[in-house]
Structure 1
């Protein structure tokens, strides 16, 4: 377990805190944030959740998710009054969006808790454990370090973070400890079937139609080692689907025989493409993402690239071809 003494001291010394995570928040970002807010409040602190971008509909079932605020200048008052800003699951300053500049301008001390390798977030206090399967695992450890009981709502938030970041307990550092933590959360009242249905069983017909349109363009490269597909702007606009709701699309090519790397390109605008990478073989997709100012882990990473879709595809697939793969 990590050394939580410094962060525990900050909580003990402070009264007001703000908790945030990264843009395009995923299950780990939302789950960790909600659990952290409940921990601080259980310890008698004032805690406000302010995110750099809206909470995806997928995670609005989590208790407290509806109360998370999407940052606007009006939130500078609560931010400026905070004793510290907890930054969870964000590996770089730009992943904080407008909150990066705002917290610097207001001189709010930052506390970074993360599990991404190569974390470069500017923070006065940091705890980065790349051996953890998720930031939710780290918040679970913080509960233990603070001697706080995990209630059912916090358990569901933490379970969601772990479940989604490990891709249903299959990737990204899943080990015996991961399952032991999950068992504790289940004993606190989490229903795994209900959680799965809320995370993955709540997709709209339009989203599945978009998945179909995207899968129809699925291609392979490097002798079948790489499978990639592109979510085109014209398709998600035609079907009226929020492109941020396509996080689950990376799971579709996972079952293709012989595939070691999956890439999903999401054309958000004509010259802005979000790239999601997953590795089943020894390819370090985190290293590939960092070539494009992105980041992540060896098996799961992403980047936001400002160029036309065709250019982005050529660059990323080219980089993957040159990378060392193989099972």
Structure 2
């Protein structure tokens, strides 16, 4: 399964921790050069899957091939060709930015000259060249995240695993990180991303799976999933708390699907403006209305529900 085969192939993949089945028989293929996403709520099985792909957690059952190799017997060879960005930054806080890269590069058997050249290139790429000689500890969260990504690239990986890459970052830092990841993909690096941010999945992923309860609930490109599980547009009608109950029977039949929330009604329709005009004609008078395009968030909430699962 080398050459033109998938970089990651999983069939009926299972991971158990004692009696808890975190991953419950999933099938996944990740193609060379794409950005592939695992989208799901906390506890869906995303990180457990990533740890198996990253050859740091053995599978309980099923088939798994990474870069055409068998993780159980060829883990070190696979890890040498992977880059991993963990959920939590594990940088050495007392070393400088540059030293963090130099030490990591030496783990891969690179010469001092190779590490120096590669570190300079990567610091430029993640826009940290001016902070190269600063200690890591006082850097902002976004800078630390970019340094973690730079470190994961020191060995020129074919496959980059990113577990919740932008959790806790402000919008500017997230967008800068997305820009760097997009550029990486353009150079031919294959990305696997776990996230619970819908906008991140829409921005980054060519294809994704929605995981829920250790299983795959849906698979496709963001556009395919929106077309399959939602509508072209969503009409949001906002009301004073509780007033939406009286309006709900009045909008029956005006959309493919109506969802009632505590302060609003969501009408899933191909034409939001027509649905709004029809609602007004039936005497529906919301405090405000909004017509927007459907997003992955609409798909995600339909597939996994709005109830918080702890």
Q: TM-score range by the shorter chain?
A: under 0.3
- Between structures 1 and 2, the one with greater strand share: 2
- Between structures 1 and 2, the one with greater helix share: 1
Q: Which has the higher contact order (CA 8 A, sep 6+)?
A: 2
Q: Which has the larger radius of gyration?
A: 2
TM-score normalised over the length of structure 2:
0.26
